[in-house]
A and B are shown apart, each in its own frame.
Chain A
């Protein structure tokens, strides 16, 4: 078989971050585990943050993360780029600088030409080069379905860690990539997405959050996360729950692929979106004007989504301007942190 004819998305069940284990199941697996305690573990599993942080000295901490998933696009090189961008994103979301990476590969060597694996890894290397990251190794297993990703290690200053917590009343929330990639990936799999949109979404997913992270470094940012498998509202809920603050989101201001709305209405919604809604829906209230399909997109699992940044109110517009000036043209203020109702998300 040639790598030109095989459609990667037809070879797997789940796609991209939509293939994540449902958050409720993960919570049940991890809840109550006896986790090792270490004073140098500054951000660990108990915090459910984007990446773990381990202090080496007063000036230096390691920030580590791992992400891999089955393909959500048909082109092997693009898939490699997207998987790498997605894995690197967690480091950027913590305010860190990625340094080294290792490949994680599952490959159906009996049914798929090895040239496909080569293209996937080339795509990953392309993004590692762009990020200034060096590949130090990897591990490959034979599996029924192709999966690819990275384990990434970066540097961060122990006093400058950006977590999901630390929202402050009045903060504006800024999003740096459009939502809807899970639904669009489902439409790609269904053969309904045209080439132009497929290319546009592929480019967005393959875009590193590096420039967004570098840009926000100059502003008074209080908290940050990246939007991936749990969807916009799922990840936002992680910021809001137990924060002592609430959040008000203006749905009309949220950047999204308009095609995803139509496909949501058609029922081309990945199962992950329903999982996300079941798990986090109880923290969210929707205004009467927010349609079902918009709600679906807000819960849609994203692959290599953008950063969600909480920035002080006075700097929000300037941050958005700076992001746009650096080519992140869809960046927008999508909501604000309010004093109450606490621990809840209100979408109007």
Chain B
């Protein structure tokens, strides 16, 4: 039986959050969502597509029935060989998450910013075992891809048990999803929940 979620009468963003909860509890092969307005239909469709579902929708009883069917290839982050599953952090340690949002560090001169950022990544290991995760977004994702001098540095961190993640949408945006060399692909939900899980988040 197809799992059905009734989101009629709910205002944005509640329908999307309900669908998100449904996908978090289990990963249904097919999920049907009832909504009663066009904005909710489009938002739920977008969310399901974003979660690697194929989406169709039809008019039903003055509203819409949005049906998502899970496609293969989702959850790329779980398959990556470099996921540090064997080296868990010892419990009780503080977790620091570093969010790298650009190839430059700071504003002013970009050349200087490039040098500073490279130096920052090289020096990150000095944080020691409290460094839990480094997440790359926007142009920062290029550090994880072929051609970046930072790849061996990040690999060293990954080998030491630090989670290296890069935003999939950003990698796709810069057309370097295929050339990623270190770390795992992540999404905004994982970044956001990671921020919540971390004891401190450092954004550069």
> Interface segment, A153-161, A217-225, A266-274?
A266-274
* Interface size bracket, A side: 20 to 34
Given A196-B203, A258-B138, A262-B169, are A267 and B44 also a contact pair (CB < 8 Å)?
A: yes
Q: How far is the CA of A268 from the CA of B46 in the complex (A)?
A: 9
In the complex, the answer to whether B11 meets A267 with C-beta atoms within 8 Å is no
Residue in chain A with minimal CB distance to B45? A267
* Interface size bracket, B side: 20 to 34
- Among A189, A258, A329, the residue within 8 A (CB) of B13 is A189
In the complex, the answer to whether A262 meets B43 with C-beta atoms within 8 Å is no
Mark B1-26 against chain A: 1 for CB-CB distance below 8 A, else 0: 00000000001110011000000000
Smallest CB separation, B37 vs chain A (Å): 7
In the complex, the answer to whether B16 meets A268 with C-beta atoms within 8 Å is yes
Q: How far is the CA of A190 from the CA of B18 in the complex (A)?
A: 11
Q: How far is the CA of A129 from the CA of B135 in the complex (A)?
A: 42
Given A258-B138, A266-B46, are A194 and B13 also a contact pair (CB < 8 Å)?
A: no
- B192 at the A/B interface (Cβ < 8 Å)? yes
Q: How far is the CA of A141 from the CA of B195 in the complex (A)?
A: 41
In the complex, the answer to whether B17 meets A190 with C-beta atoms within 8 Å is yes
In the complex, the answer to whether A186 meets B192 with C-beta atoms within 8 Å is no
Chain A interface main SS type: helix
Smallest CB separation, B40 vs chain A (Å): 8
Given A258-B138, A266-B188, are A274 and B46 also a contact pair (CB < 8 Å)?
A: no
Mark B115-155 against chain A: 1 for CB-CB distance below 8 A, else 0: 00000000000000000000001100000000000000000
Residue in chain B with minimal CB distance to A265? B50
- Among A194, A265, A267, the residue within 8 A (CB) of B192 is A194
- Among A194, A258, A274, the residue within 8 A (CB) of B42 is A274
Given A13-B11, A262-B188, A263-B188, are A271 and B16 also a contact pair (CB < 8 Å)?
A: no
- B109 at the A/B interface (Cβ < 8 Å)? no
Mark B68-92 against chain A: 1 for CB-CB distance below 8 A, else 0: 0000000000000000000000000
- Among B16, B101, B137, the residue within 8 A (CB) of A267 is B16
Q: How far is the CA of A59 from the CA of B46 in the complex (A)?
A: 54
Q: How far is the CA of A247 from the CA of B119 in the complex (A)?
A: 44
- A192 at the A/B interface (Cβ < 8 Å)? yes
In the complex, the answer to whether B50 meets A267 with C-beta atoms within 8 Å is yes
- B201 at the A/B interface (Cβ < 8 Å)? yes
In the complex, the answer to whether A268 meets B169 with C-beta atoms within 8 Å is no
- Among A190, A194, A262, the residue within 8 A (CB) of B16 is A190
Q: How far is the CA of A171 from the CA of B156 in the complex (A)?
A: 52
- B38 at the A/B interface (Cβ < 8 Å)? yes
- B29 at the A/B interface (Cβ < 8 Å)? no
Q: Within 8 Å CB of A269, what residues of B?
A: 12, 39, 42-43, 46
Smallest CB separation, B176 vs chain A (Å): 17
Q: How far is the CA of A267 from the CA of B192 in the complex (A)?
A: 16
Q: Within 8 Å CB of B64, what residues of A?
A: none
Q: How far is the CA of A265 from the CA of B189 in the complex (A)?
A: 12
In the complex, the answer to whether A266 meets B16 with C-beta atoms within 8 Å is yes
Smallest CB separation, A348 vs chain B (Å): 17
Smallest CB separation, A130 vs chain B (Å): 25
Q: How far is the CA of A277 from the CA of B54 in the complex (A)?
A: 24
Q: How far is the CA of A273 from the CA of B13 in the complex (A)?
A: 13
Task: Report A262-295 residues with CB < 8 Å from chain B CB.
Answer: 262-271, 273-274, 292
Q: Within 8 Å CB of A274, what residues of B?
A: 38-39, 42
A-B contact pairs, 6 of them (CB 8 A): A13-B11, A190-B13, A266-B46, A266-B188, A267-B16, A271-B40
Extra inter-chain contacts (12) besides given A196-B201, A269-B46, CB under 8 Å = A186-B12, A187-B13, A194-B192, A258-B101, A265-B46, A267-B46, A268-B12, A271-B39, A271-B40, A274-B38, A274-B42, A329-B107
What 7 A-B pairs come out closest when comparing CB atoms? A267-B43, A267-B46, A271-B39, A267-B47, A262-B188, A190-B13, A274-B39
Chain B residues at the A interface, C-beta cutoff of 8 Å: 11-13, 16-17, 37-40, 42-47, 50, 101, 107, 137-138, 167, 169, 188-189, 192, 195, 201, 203
